Structure 1
């Protein structure tokens, strides 16, 4: 004979919420909501593992990029030309028997009165394994004029005698990666004579800001300038061709400097101490011009230094990738908890309104499908690019979860709603990653709208689970 209790449970359809008094507390909507929150937090563990995987792949990509740069040419910095004139100061120190004569070696670095830099940079992508790096071949020309050394360039500091080594004057140009020069370099002096360059910067040190962090004595070229030329001033032209990768930087070495660059790369990133005055960017490339006057540069006409000047005041162009998908995926993982929470809220509302149970393990499976989305996005992006990979991974996760939720809740309508919700979530996530400047604004608005929809959609839910217990008692015959 079947008891009343057994009869009550036997009449409950499979998968529906039971109304037994001892069972209702753990299966009340409030308890279910808290359990779903716990599942959401637990899913942060595998999402952290995915983030570590993304960083490992990004490190591998950077390592391959360095390998390509070592064989082709690294980030180039063109710093110069400067006229370096050594001199000595001889003076006496001490009194009486302790009096002695000292000689101090000094050098003055003169800046050109005017410098015009022009360059045509042809960029292509070099591939190694599944990774690529933008590399370029640049044809550059440095033109300008040095004036007679200004007054005070050879002033004594100790009241001694100045002796100028007039025949030791050299013109120096710093180059970030000297190995990448692809032509012999000669100085056209006053438009008539050619003076060949030699490797090295003589007694100066080159500290590349964007390349190697170690001082380099040889990372540059020099050419001797006859005393008769530098004393009266001279014009110069230095054409050369070099390879590089990722970016090119140029120092505004002239008292007045103008720079004009053009390239076939359609995604330039202008950077440095000065931004271009004019720039035109199209699908076929870009051209940009800079003009830096003497006062804006903020440096006098000459310096006494052992290092190349202006190493921290460069202008430049980075040949950036349209989408750095490693960085984008890493940023998107920061939104994973909100992404998963919105999905679970949608499933929870559908569950409450349908009356069919959706076990917490099923919530976990839906969440794991969203974690796998990130892994698929990373894997496909390395082969087909970010946008197609996002479409593939998001489409697979959306269809899988929509079908799973619909069949579990025995409702095509629930599946259709889930498909729509996930499509909207993935669309918003894509927009957030593309519009980094507006990510916080968009995210806050979406969070507010999602909360408002959830509040009103769950307004009629019996969070305590007691209403279903009271109804049989109220309807029972007296």
Structure 2
């Protein structure tokens, strides 16, 4: 129980280093590009509704600004994402360069596209229609963006979302500099429908999200990162993951999206219905070490049980201070694991720290009890304990089950090994 005090200090140290790593990761993302959210394209047409309202027995004329948002009839998003580890000091962050292609078509203007919410008169700004795309970190665009209209005309995008705005409720904790781009579409073009082709070159980090903006949306993303974490409102229909990367495909039909073909809104739609992929690091060793510290009391107890049994069998007395020194060696194991993991990776760091603690304690117990056999037994016990702890950290879903079984078996072995000991001091 006393050794739990330094265990807590080690846990605080792990959390402090983890916070430092997150701070450096945010600095890298700020310079390279944050989590990207590609939301669109949408055809946005502003209009006003003029109506009469009775206020204090007087008729007052009200004019309300609205925006009709038309979704693409078909949207196909293809993406090739190259990921690399960007380092700063001893820390690193997976960053990527994404090449996206947005293709599809808008249908002809629906008859019910503009709605009078208060039964007033509608005045549509037909020549102010824009095609809008929301982007999570607009600073990370790496080239000019142009719209290929009907396979022929090329129109450059301008910064901004037009009459729409991002909703901070949905972008919190994800996008860093959410904004967007827009391009004006002539009335004669969007009235009868049109096809579009939009290439995007953008940097980002941690994850990329896209919105199922089409009435029917197909998404195909591939990357050279072998540790994807698929997330969001929709999971891929098909996916192939190998050591060379992944290839994933989504198909989202109109009914699954749950939104009508035309929407009257002042904010970018579908911010809460995005799909995407996180570029997961294979081992988050800060989290792993923090979890392993939760097993410290069991880890130390198993070691003390082994020392106690060896003490009873050898006939030599092992002082409580010596127990404390053995326990402190186990606490220092966690510090060594943290320190080495930041430089050589978790697996090799675990091997180095575990071997150091095993050899030290085995040699100390063997010489203290004047028994080479005790030292060898202690070495085998500690090697087994470290191997089990490593397995527990790898099998997070079954850690509690495995740990409880091991604790029961260890107690049972101790009970039967010490069964013939006369606790009054005489061994029979």
TM-score by length of 1: 0.86
**CA distance in 1: counterparts of 2:278 and 2:176, whole angstroms:** 23
Does 1:382 pair with 2:382?
A: no
Cα offset, 1:463, TM superposition: 2.4
Is this contact kept in 2: 1:207–1:213, CA < 8 A? no
Does 1:285 pair with 2:245?
A: yes
Does 1:121 pair with 2:81?
A: yes
Tell me which of 385, 390, 394 is aligned to 1:434.
394
Q: Counterpart in 1 of 2:414?
A: 454
Cα offset, 1:96, TM superposition: 11
**CA distance in 1: counterparts of 2:140 and 2:55, whole angstroms:** 56
Tell me which of 352, 368, 374 is aligned to 2:328.
368
Cα offset, 1:336, TM superposition: 0.3
**CA distance in 2: counterparts of 1:203 and 1:46, whole angstroms:** 57
Q: Counterpart in 2 of 1:245?
A: 205
Tell me which of 6, 14, 18 is aligned to 1:58.
18
**CA distance in 1: counterparts of 2:111 and 2:407, whole angstroms:** 67
Q: Counterpart in 2 of 1:222?
A: 182
Is this contact kept in 1: 2:97–2:202, CA < 8 A? yes
Cα offset, 1:203, TM superposition: 2.0
Higher strand share goes to which structure?
A: 2
1:93–1:285 Cα change, 3 Å? same
Q: Which has the larger radius of gyration?
A: 1
Residues 414-445 of structure 1 deviation map (CA, whole Å, 9 limit, x = unaligned): 11111111111100100011111111111111
Is this contact kept in 2: 1:207–1:215, CA < 8 A? no
Residues 342-389 of structure 1 deviation map (CA, whole Å, 9 limit, x = unaligned): 000010011111111000000000000000000000000000000000
Is this contact kept in 1: 2:35–2:176, CA < 8 A? no
Q: Counterpart in 2 of 1:26?
A: none
The alignment partner of 2:295 has SS state of helix
**CA distance in 2: counterparts of 1:228 and 1:305, whole angstroms:** 24
1:211–1:77 Cα change, 3 Å? farther
The root-mean-square deviation of aligned C-alpha atoms, in Å, is 1.8
**Aligned positions of 1:165-204 closer than 5 A:** 165-204=125-164
**CA distance in 1: counterparts of 2:334 and 2:6, whole angstroms:** 11
Is this contact kept in 1: 2:68–2:113, CA < 8 A? yes
Does 1:46 pair with 2:32?
A: no
Count of aligned positions: 427
Residues 282-329 of structure 1 deviation map (CA, whole Å, 9 limit, x = unaligned): 111111111111111111112222211111111111111110001100
1:244–1:211 Cα change, 3 Å? farther
1:96–1:449 Cα change, 3 Å? closer
**CA distance in 1: counterparts of 2:367 and 2:58, whole angstroms:** 102
**CA distance in 2: counterparts of 1:97 and 1:264, whole angstroms:** 68
**CA distance in 2: counterparts of 1:214 and 1:318, whole angstroms:** 13
Is this contact kept in 2: 1:74–1:211, CA < 8 A? no
**CA distance in 2: counterparts of 1:149 and 1:429, whole angstroms:** 63
TM-score by length of 2: 0.96
Cα offset, 1:214, TM superposition: 9.0
**CA distance in 1: counterparts of 2:176 and 2:158, whole angstroms:** 19
